[in-house]
Chains A and B, each alone.
Chain A
Amino acid sequence: MRFAWIGVATVLLFVMSPLIAPGSLDSGALAGMVPFAAALALIAVGQTLVLAQGGIDLSVPAIVGLAAVVVTKFADGDDAKLPLAMVLTLVVAAAFGLVNGLATTKLNITPFVVTLATNSAGLGVIYIVSNEFPTPAAPALTTFMSAQWIGVPTPAFVAVAVVAVAHVLLKRTTRGRVFLMVGANRTAAATMGIRTDRYVVGAYVLAAVCYAVGAIILAGWVRTPTLFIGDQYLLPSIAATVLGGTAMTGGIASVLSSSIGAVFLTQLSQVVLAAGASTAGQRLVEALVLAAGIAVQRLRLPRALTPAGRTRRQEARDAVSEREPREELTNHVKL
């Protein structure tokens, strides 16, 4: 139930969209919305991984901005240089994430402080790398991100592929389960002999890579990304993740739900805009929906309405069991 409601809410939003703003489900309107949703979904996946470890990543603006600058600056409008520029972008982002992870684990500094500081440093690096002005993306990247396949914008396929891989790794592999276990209780995991630092550092590195892929989508879609394009993605990435049901205390997370949360937020924003709401109206509606979304997650449903008649207590027990090491997992863990 924790992760399911966002799917229900998103379906409801899409059903209601034409009633609120006629034409908001037209192919043209969706074609304009999907690339932004795809980018936010990937950034939200990254934020989910960090939140799953009980952390928070405030360096999203710097990593997204830096990735967009690197992929455009180093390709320099030349398609031949694009593959190398993309690899470099992912490497730079991973290095950024590594710094976040190592500072959090080895120096034992609070993630909030670490990522706030690295965000500031990263914004400075953006100035240096970009020479203070943006560069257009290579034509091949723009063409690819603006294209459609079977009527669906290509960024959607990139996002779906990354989300699917991340979901399977997190929910269907032993490593993924251990990852969540470390996030739920790092001390207990360490007592069991799990090298918890590796998982925490890994979360920051993989998160940064996800941000970078999102930034590459944005760079191709908007063609000339502004230097600080990442500024707009910090709070939405956290909002999408929380709406998706991921616990900010760590251990309970779903990248699939977070990415659906990203689609929900993007479509909500687009529908409110298309309905002709003023800026004040847009902000109020979005805030109210966010508040309602989080409140719904906390609702106590009557026994009859819970899936298969499960009680709240049963759900809580299941959630706890997700946070506790399972016997079979320990067999796969290096001691």
Chain B
Amino acid sequence: MSSCRQNPVRKAAIGLSVSAVLIAMSACSVAPPDASETKTGSEQKLTTGDTSQLKEITDFCGDKPMKVALADGQGGNAWRKVTRAEFEDEASRCDNIEVLPYADGQNNPQKAISDVNALVAQGVNGLVVFPDSGPAMLPTFRTAFKAGVSVVPYTSNPGGTPGVDYTTFVSNNTAAEGGIWAAWMCQTLQPEGGNIVFLGGTPGNTQSLTELEAVEEEMASNSDCSNVKLLNKSGQPYDTNWEPTQGQKVVAGLLTQYQQIDGIISDSSQVVVAGLRAVKAAKRSTPAIATVDLNELSCLWETYDKAGDAFPMMSIDGRPWLVRIALRKAVADFQGIDNDEPNIVTVPIFEDTTDDSKPVRCEPSLPPEASVSSTLKPEQLQKVFN
């Protein structure tokens, strides 16, 4: 009998041994920097508020040396670049904070999980994560949190329980944004009213569904909306995958289906820009727009304005600064200082063509994808893109 042949029991034993070694190795990769720091928590209630309740990081720096890091589930766009710069700028204001290398999960859940594990192995104390992979990240968060790391996911909800599975969660107030868009749209379309559409992202994504629900609630309760008709079927955003080319096709389809579209609400300005191209190709009048701030849209609006074709537009703040709150929460937790800033922040209106105090802000020197609502100084923003 060949020496390569083994009986099944022996094979199973070897398999189990290899598995045990692999499990031990993977456990080593997320072992706590100091086993004595292992913590357990109790459920934390998330608070809602607005930007007037935000504080300075210097209130939470403390005096313990600490390592912080930002782990993105998916980098590779201007918003994430600005967010990263905001994070590093905020961290630089505390002398006792060291920033570990930035991690980009490249839209690969496996890599995103490995990134978090690697940062824990490097001794990170405060970890801010954009969990694009959602609940898939939860076991990793739980392990890191129990290992003593202050873990703060932001913007994308990973599920689980704040205070038990991770330190806390920070996000913009998605529901409030839907209401703000709908109220502005209804007011802007007065007195004639009209037809409006809501463009969402990927099919079934929670963010777009929550926003649409808020739009519908606002339209049901706001008297300005009595002669405004939402063309979406109830609870069904028009799916664009947040892809401009798909957005353009969807809007072209809507223009074919409906003779009159007076307003577009979308949680993606890039989709709006693409949709406006479809409107122009179809030679239809430009609808009112309610969306999120984006340099490309602002500059496009200026082009229309110069040509005498300005359309009503409102954008809420693109909140690339939200990551600063997440960092402050992580730092405060590690330093043992209370942080009473809101977890769920209602972001303000950034541009409104019907309000002179909120003019459209096009920055030609910045890339079209940039969010001009960044709190970075212009020279810092320039540096991000050079």
Contact = CB atoms under 8 A, between A and B. Distances in A.
Interface of A: 21-24, 26-29, 31-33, 36, 127, 131-136, 146, 218, 221-224, 226-227, 229, 232, 269-270, 273-276, 278-280
B252 A222 contact: no
Nearest to A153: B281
A223 B247 CA distance: 14
Nearest to B274: A222
B111 interface: no
Given A135-B367, A278-B236, A127 B76 contact: yes
A229 B241 CA distance: 12
Interface residues of B, number: 37
- 9 A-B pairs with the lowest CB-CB distances in the bound complex, closest first: A273-B253, A28-B282, A32-B252, A274-B256, A133-B78, A274-B253, A31-B281, A23-B256, A279-B203
A131 B103 CA distance: 16
Contacts of A22: 256
A125 B284 CA distance: 40
A31 B283 CA distance: 10
A247 B296 CA distance: 44
B246 A222 contact: no
Interface of B: 75-78, 80-81, 203, 236, 239, 243-246, 248-250, 252-257, 270, 273-274, 277-278, 281-284, 296, 367-370, 385
A29 B284 CA distance: 11
Nearest to A142: B277
Contacts of A218: 245
A229 B274 CA distance: 13
A44 B286 CA distance: 34
A146 to B, nearest CB: 8
B77 A28 contact: no
Contacts of B270: 224, 226
Contact of A132 (B77, B244, B256, B282): B77
A227 B80 CA distance: 14
Contacts of B254: 273-274
Contacts of B256: 21-24, 26, 28-29, 270, 274
Scoring A23, A28, A133 by chain B CB atoms within 10 A of each residue's CB, the highest score goes to A133
Contacts of A222: 244-245, 248, 274, 277
A132 B74 CA distance: 11
A32 B102 CA distance: 40
Nearest to A28: B282
Contacts of A27: 283
Contact of B284 (A28, A229, A276): A28
A31 B78 CA distance: 30
B282 A32 contact: yes
Nearest to A27: B283
Contacts of A127: 76
Nearest to B368: A224
A316 B200 CA distance: 49
Contacts of B368: 134-136, 224
Contact of A36 (B78, B245, B283, B296): B245
Contact of B249 (A32, A276, A279): A32
A273 B245 contact: no
